[in-house]
Structure 1
């Protein structure tokens, strides 16, 4: 699972040599499948719980996670013991059983990994919820996931309680305390459950989970519509972590007595990118995770410098910030060795602006993945200097590009990207219709993204077929906002599209048809939505129309709206 540590410059040069060799041969097969240039991997037949702790004895005293603001944190040995005590109490006191879902509604705190691994240790399934969600949004996810408990912060307790009332369910609430306050009435305290030295951990021997069982249930908008539960198995995540370890693409260095990579956890752990790439994988290789609970430019740049961050996983707004903020200097960014951009594409101009601020030789690449693919599926080799491409399929993974009739296309032809590999999800939970839409008859996963590959097989993402709006990398499904807008007493019909925004990428714009005799101002509409959704989903602008353009089948023609109004 690990590779012998070599000097940084040697590794960069090796990566460049490997990248140049790849550039001289094509990854296309005769039947127009794009194969991987990376060696095939063996996938361990184990659970995520077993995988992340496999090398624990090599670095028990190293820091596993630390709060960027306070310095509060845990060593690997502490994390192992506390998460196991928590797991035992989940079974003994909260009656969690194999396959039960436990929701986590938390910001990036150092306790997050302990809670997540504890849920897995108890035989449970993790489902994550954005902590800025409203009670309306939370109740829907709790019902859809059939959660048997929820873990949250004291300041989110009322939202959770309101969500439970709306859902008409009663499940245990576990509170994570970061200060000395007493736990609120009728809740469990994570700190007490995890620090219980008398708990009988022998109950964990009863856990029976196989690699094919679901272990993580994040919610994604998929290709269209309302959130869908993405069933990721232990095998999906373990396979993806093994794929990240491939010597030609990996960006971490071995943990040793004298070295430990520091990774900034500023992307949310409740998202697959943060959970799998930053949290689970980096624990498996013994890295230090610096948890940034609230992102501000000041806290971000201070953390990069104070904790000597080696590896940064970023979304475009962060790269833009580092390219233009006054606090972004060569000194602030001096420790960065590797920066991987995901969530949304970057332009070469944005990359060059960032590179002007950092030392020579930094590894910066764009990678591609989705919630449904655990997430990583395409990544360039180390040393590549093409900042537009997302690279080649990772080990054990294939790709192809098709037209609207699913006819396979060849080099330099743009079409929908399809994928096949061990990291692709089991499917959407209890949603056969959605599964039939994203899986072809022969088992390929339809990404809904438009891609083009050159004659060597290097893939570039060019557009989205799906109509999701990307606000700072977060997915906003138009269908969700449209359904909500139609609940407004004055609204007859509604449509939502994404329009360009200088710092957020895109923002939602609503088109409204009012009921006969009804009046409403744009502010009324925006406030109605604002009260019911997370801040990143709020409507930025409103336009009133006589009718919403629709196809003969009644589908909203968002492309027509974009062409005319965006």
Structure 2
């Protein structure tokens, strides 16, 4: 059966992202603070930001970039990211965002795959950026270093070029705005083609469930190069005229300082940040009284962790959402104020969203039950936020999007009678033990509830008998003393026999992506 959002559809205007965010600025809006540089406190008003966006659009056009060209943005969260990103889109250019932690080889792969004709970066990332640019033959003056580097154009050069913003006409439904890279459900990273309409739609789809206001102050530690930080945080905040405080990297002490000093009201986080806020002694001493909402996304966020965060932020709503780059990214979230929904749920379908849950073995559709919980199945989604496809990869596009427009997410979910969805695990990450499916996320949530465990991950590894068994990687809390037997006994006491952890390895850190996803491939190779 097709499952629909319980919220009425929202109207999606047929406009570019620039017009959607900036064309309706009022005189009062122009004076509001749009962006604050977290480390220095320097502010940029909405009026100043729009002027920068227009100036940058003109500068890139004057440098020969035309609508449909691709320019790579390889930059941490700094105020200039916001201006450059929207300046490029204002000129009709497609932006491919590169992970700030990418190596030179990884930069080169994305530049080549996307067909980027220029690269914008910062001096701290120049070694990797230049290595990537050299590998694909980009000229030195095609590498813009925002904060300045000898032989490269900088932000000041672009802002003072004096070229007017070009008169660009584009079809929001087909013109590519961004080209992030994602592995999807399988395989190597692929260019996700998202249009202006995709991005506009998803800001409007998320707004009824994650309402922001001009009075909100939002620390931006989630990377803008990732679709969660790009759409939910950066673009969502700009649309509501909120204030964004940029942080180029996550440092807990600095993050807590920004929250306290700027009286932050909304925290968009990934689970590792939520875990730090819940468990770290520094957070216990911080002033978090201004926070009204914490929303987690990008990785599983279970109800035990949500409860711990709730104890630290008793005045705030604690929710989570779900999505993927291929959906711009939000398809589900717990609406603010819906305290009746379990914080372990990914929430309800956002407006304009359709879903199916299908048995991954048979393809048969699983219905929403009249009461209780459905059987597990793969989640498929359709809506105006779903990507056009993967760049230059028609086969992967066909494998991912059905003929009637439903996107395979690769995630196994259940849905209850109220329409709330729960992620069991990623289809490709399920551990098969003696024919039973063991979801790593369930065991990880259990391990994180242990007071002496600071972080944990579970992967399937082969044992001597040819079986795949659950192996736990555990980071022990400071001052705690645990043995492998302690960990295995703790889990065994709370799960069915086939779900027991069979191997334990203690480690100092769980490898994760910038978006907070556990890098299971690295753990399996350990």
> What band does the TM-score fall into relative to the shorter chain?
0.7 to 0.9
Residue 131 (structure 2) aligned to one of 143, 162, 177: 162
User: How many angstroms apart in 2 are the aligned matches of 1:436 and 1:282?
Assistant: 34
Conserved in 2, the CA contact under 8 Å of 1:251 and 1:338? Answer: no
Indicate whether 1:423 and 2:424 are aligned.
no
Gaps of 5+ in 2: 431-439, 445-458, 460-467, 477-516
CA displacement, residues 262-301 of structure 1 (integer Å, 9 cap, x when unaligned): 0110100000000011111211110100001121111111
In the alignment, which residue of structure 2 is the partner of 1:148? 117
Indicate whether 1:462 and 2:432 are aligned.
no
In the alignment, which residue of structure 2 is the partner of 1:399? 355
Residue 151 (structure 2) aligned to one of 175, 182, 186: 186
Return 379-388 or 338-347, whichever deviates more.
379-388
In the alignment, which residue of structure 2 is the partner of 1:176? 146
Conserved in 2, the CA contact under 8 Å of 1:330 and 1:358? Answer: no
Indicate whether 1:378 and 2:332 are aligned.
yes
The alignment partner of 2:79 has SS state of coil
**1:539 deviation in Å?**
4.0
> Number of paired residues?
443
- Counterparts in 2 of 1:53-92, with a 5 A limit? 53-57=22-26, 58-92=28-62
Conserved in 2, the CA contact under 8 Å of 1:214 and 1:231? Answer: yes
Conserved in 1, the CA contact under 8 Å of 2:228 and 2:329? Answer: yes
The alignment partner of 1:205 has SS state of coil
CA displacement, residues 34-60 of structure 1 (integer Å, 9 cap, x when unaligned): 111111111001010111113322411
CA displacement, residues 179-234 of structure 1 (integer Å, 9 cap, x when unaligned): xxxx33331111221144xx131x51145453421101000011111110000011
Conserved in 1, the CA contact under 8 Å of 2:334 and 2:347? Answer: yes
User: How many angstroms apart in 2 are the aligned matches of 1:283 and 1:141?
Assistant: 28
Structure 1 residues 89, 498: closer, same or farther in 2, change over 3 A? farther
Indicate whether 1:347 and 2:302 are aligned.
yes
User: How many angstroms apart in 2 are the aligned matches of 1:240 and 1:125?
Assistant: 18
**What is the CA RMSD across the aligned residues, in angstroms?**
2.6
Conserved in 2, the CA contact under 8 Å of 1:233 and 1:425? Answer: yes
In the alignment, which residue of structure 2 is the partner of 1:409? 366
**1:166 deviation in Å?**
2.1
The alignment partner of 2:52 has SS state of helix
Structure with larger RCO (C-alpha < 8 A, sep 6+): 1
User: How many angstroms apart in 2 are the aligned matches of 1:45 and 1:228?
Assistant: 27
Q: Normalising to structure 1: TM-score of the pair?
A: 0.74
The alignment partner of 1:378 has SS state of strand
Indicate whether 1:123 and 2:105 are aligned.
no
Residue 318 (structure 2) aligned to one of 361, 364, 368: 364
Residue 252 (structure 1) aligned to one of 206, 212, 236: 212
Indicate whether 1:277 and 2:247 are aligned.
no
User: How many angstroms apart in 1 are the aligned matches of 2:86 and 2:188?
Assistant: 28
In the alignment, which residue of structure 2 is the partner of 1:549? none
**1:503 deviation in Å?**
5.9
In the alignment, which residue of structure 1 is the partner of 2:185? 223
Indicate whether 1:52 and 2:9 are aligned.
no
User: How many angstroms apart in 2 are the aligned matches of 1:443 and 1:541?
Assistant: 34
Conserved in 2, the CA contact under 8 Å of 1:47 and 1:234? Answer: yes
User: How many angstroms apart in 2 are the aligned matches of 1:185 and 1:458?
Assistant: 54
User: How many angstroms apart in 2 are the aligned matches of 1:498 and 1:135?
Assistant: 35
The alignment partner of 2:319 has SS state of strand
CA displacement, residues 339-375 of structure 1 (integer Å, 9 cap, x when unaligned): 1110112122111111111233x21111111100011
